[in-house]
């Protein structure tokens, strides 16, 4: 399958089955903003729940928070976002690359016909220099003036840094410990695209781990290992995951070391999560800008220091896209194309489809009762319309791992068939056991 067609097919399946819709579609859509439909919201929620489970509930040394999207504007001065994104920039209308206006590689004057793009070599395609900030601005209160400017956060991390002492004191944690958060972030991306890969509104799953200076390198290695394993446990093909180490020219000003976990998308190897050793940059800056001491006092050692931070930062939408890309496949079955989303049962939006084989002989009644029973334990879907083969296919496309059919033997023998999405094999299982049967397979890694 050609890679571009794979993305086209996926976008179309996502719309058809209710995973992802274009935002405000009836008005022609809004650029690089997407809405999650009934199946998509479940998929993304499962991603976030798994992250929260692994990062917060399963550990003693990480606390969760949910900070507000709007923050004091000084936060973004301290973080470097206000200054860092307001350089004059020029864009190439042809290759969509963006450069600083003073980039020495640009020949001619940007905005004029003689200017040449240093990447694609096109002439006359460079825009006039423009001041550009990636942050979305809005106003707080009734007056739209400079003093009232606030920003939609471009990352969730800052909400963690400014709450570090609150969490430390209220939770009685000691260093080393971490704070985790899932939430929306907004970036006025200039070259967005590739469906939900790069959007202007997205969700981050970030964790900041506070450590004693000098122990940061070993914590960094541990976190690299744990985070890669988490992605593998989602069922992603291991060969499509790799590390990318930031070289000196890529490294952000605050980072002492940075590695990205990349996935091999149809449009190339791309970052899905970053693991960064940020040193004491963040707490140092907030200490300076707020005038509040953010040091940690280690009672046992009678030492005072500013903790170093190891950050793990993943995008929930990117992970959801990774799962969809990884899961999509087409197979030829009895002369027909079968489209399957081979999602891991733990992240599949619907866990089981329930079908009466025919709409008579008491089968719908038995199937409905079973369906209501299952729905108390996990998301299930009832379908009695069309041939059974078509009903299975619809569930294959939605990524539903189990199809449960009530047939002519169910009433007398108290058994149903359980059809497995991937192998299409069928097992006969007791009506009273089928909920446990499915639940065990959802939980099993």
| 153 part of the interface to ligand ATP, by CB under 6 A | no
| 282 part of the interface to ligand ATP, by CB under 6 A | no
What is the Cα–Cα distance from 45 to 21, expressed in whole angstroms? 16
Q: Fill in the per-residue mask, 296 to 335: x = in contact with ligand ATP (CB under 6 A), - = not in contact.
A: -----------------xxx-xx-----------------
| 125 part of the interface to ligand ATP, by CB under 6 A | no
Q: Quick one: which of 49, 87, 221, 271 contacts ligand ATP (CB under 6 A)?
A: 271
What is the Cα–Cα distance from 323 to 337, expressed in whole angstroms? 21
What is the Cα–Cα distance from 185 to 183, expressed in whole angstroms? 7
Q: Which is nearer to ligand ATP, 22 or 313 (CB)?
A: 313
User: Positive or negative, the Cα torsion across 272, 224, 135, 126?
Assistant: negative
| 202 part of the interface to ligand ATP, by CB under 6 A | yes
Q: Least separation, in Å, of the C-beta of 78 and ligand ATP?
A: 17
Q: Pick from 333, 82, 51, 73: which is nearest to 183 by CA?
A: 51
Binding segment toward ligand ATP, per CB under 6 A, in 60-68, 84-92, 199-207, 369-377: 199-207
Number of residue whose CB is nearest ligand ATP = 315
| 189 part of the interface to ligand ATP, by CB under 6 A | yes
| 187 part of the interface to ligand ATP, by CB under 6 A | yes
| 220 part of the interface to ligand ATP, by CB under 6 A | no
Q: Quick one: which of 42, 63, 273, 280 contacts ligand ATP (CB under 6 A)?
A: 273
432: buried, middle or exposed (CB in 10 Å: 19+, 13-18, 0-12)? exposed
Q: Quick one: which of 14, 272, 294, 388 contacts ligand ATP (CB under 6 A)?
A: 272
Query: How far does CA 232 lie from the centroid of its chain?
Result: 15
What is the Cα–Cα distance from 53 to 55, expressed in whole angstroms? 6
Binding segment toward ligand ATP, per CB under 6 A, in 8-16, 135-143, 195-203, 284-292: 195-203
Residues numbered 55-84 forming contacts with ligand ATP, rule: CB under 6 A: none
Q: Which is nearer to ligand ATP, 216 or 260 (CB)?
A: 260
Q: Which is nearer to ligand ATP, 123 or 240 (CB)?
A: 240
Strand partners, 340: 329
Pairing of strands 380-382, 415-420: unpaired
Q: Quick one: which of 110, 274, 279, 403 contacts ligand ATP (CB under 6 A)?
A: 274
What is the Cα–Cα distance from 230 to 243, expressed in whole angstroms? 14
**Phi-psi label, residue 105: left if phi above 0, alpha if psi -120 to 50, beta otherwise:** alpha
Q: What length is written for the chain? A: 445
Q: What is the DSSP string of 86-115?
A: -SEEEEBTTT--EEETT-TT-BS-TTSTT-
Q: Least separation, in Å, of the C-beta of 261 and ligand ATP?
A: 8
Q: Which is nearer to ligand ATP, 279 or 315 (CB)?
A: 315
Q: Pick from 234, 242, 235: which is nearest to 263 by CA?
A: 242
Residues that bind ligand ATP (CB under 6 A): 155, 187, 189, 198-199, 202, 204, 271-274, 313-315, 317-318
């Amino acid at each position: 399958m050609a890679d571009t067609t794979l993305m086209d097919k996926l976008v179309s399946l996502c719309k058809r089955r209710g995973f992802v819709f274009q935002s405000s579609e009836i008005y022609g859509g809004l650029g690089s903003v997407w809405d999650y439909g009934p199946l998509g919201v479940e998929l993304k929620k499962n991603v976030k729940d798994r992250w929260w489970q692994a990062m917060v509930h399963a550990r003693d040394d990480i606390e969760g928070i949910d900070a507000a999207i709007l923050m004091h504007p000084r936060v973004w001065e301290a973080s470097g976002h206000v200054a860092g994104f307001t350089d004059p920039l020029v864009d190439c209308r042809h290759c969509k690359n963006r450069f600083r206006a003073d980039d020495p590689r640009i020949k001619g004057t940007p905005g004029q016909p003689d200017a040449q793009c240093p990447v694609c070599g096109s002439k006359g395609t460079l825009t006039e220099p423009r001041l550009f900030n990636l942050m979305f601005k809005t106003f707080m209160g009734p007056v739209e003036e400079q003093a009232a400017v606030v920003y939609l956060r471009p990352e969730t991390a800052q909400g963690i840094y400014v709450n570090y002492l609150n969490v430390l004191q209220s939770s009685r944690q000691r260093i080393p410990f971490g704070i985790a958060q899932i939430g929306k972030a907004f970036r006025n991306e200039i070259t967005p695209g590739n469906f939900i890969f790069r959007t202007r509104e997205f969700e981050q799953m970030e964790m900041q781990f506070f450590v004693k200076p000098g122990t940061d390198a070993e914590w960094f290695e541990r976190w690299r290992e744990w985070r890669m394993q988490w992605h593998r446990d989602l069922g992603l093909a291991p060969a499509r995951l790799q590390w990318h180490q930031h070289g000196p020219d890529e490294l952000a000003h605050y980072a002492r070391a940075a590695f990205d976990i990349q996935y091999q998308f149809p449009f190339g190897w791309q970052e899905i999560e970053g693991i960064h050793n940020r040193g004491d940059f963040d707490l140092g800056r907030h200490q300076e800008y707020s005038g509040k001491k953010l040091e940690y006092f280690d009672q046992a050692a009678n030492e005072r220091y500013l903790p170093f931070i190891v950050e793990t930062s993943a995008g929930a939408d990117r992970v959801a896209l990774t799962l969809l890309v990884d899961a999509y496949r087409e197979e030829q079955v009895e002369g027909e194309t079968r489209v399957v989303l081979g999602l891991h049962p733990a992240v599949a939006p619907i866990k089981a489809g329930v079908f009466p084989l025919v709409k008579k002989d008491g089968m719908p009644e038995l199937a409905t009762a079973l369906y209501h029973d299952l729905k108390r334990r996990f998301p299930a879907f009832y379908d009695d319309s069309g041939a059974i083969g078509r009903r299975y296919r619809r569930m294959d496309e939605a990524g539903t791992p189990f199809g449960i059919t009530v047939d002519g033997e169910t009433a007398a023998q108290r058994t149903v068939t359980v059809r497995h999405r991937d192998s299409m094999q069928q097992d006969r299982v007791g009506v009273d056991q089928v909920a446990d049967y499915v639940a065990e397979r959802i939980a099993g890694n």
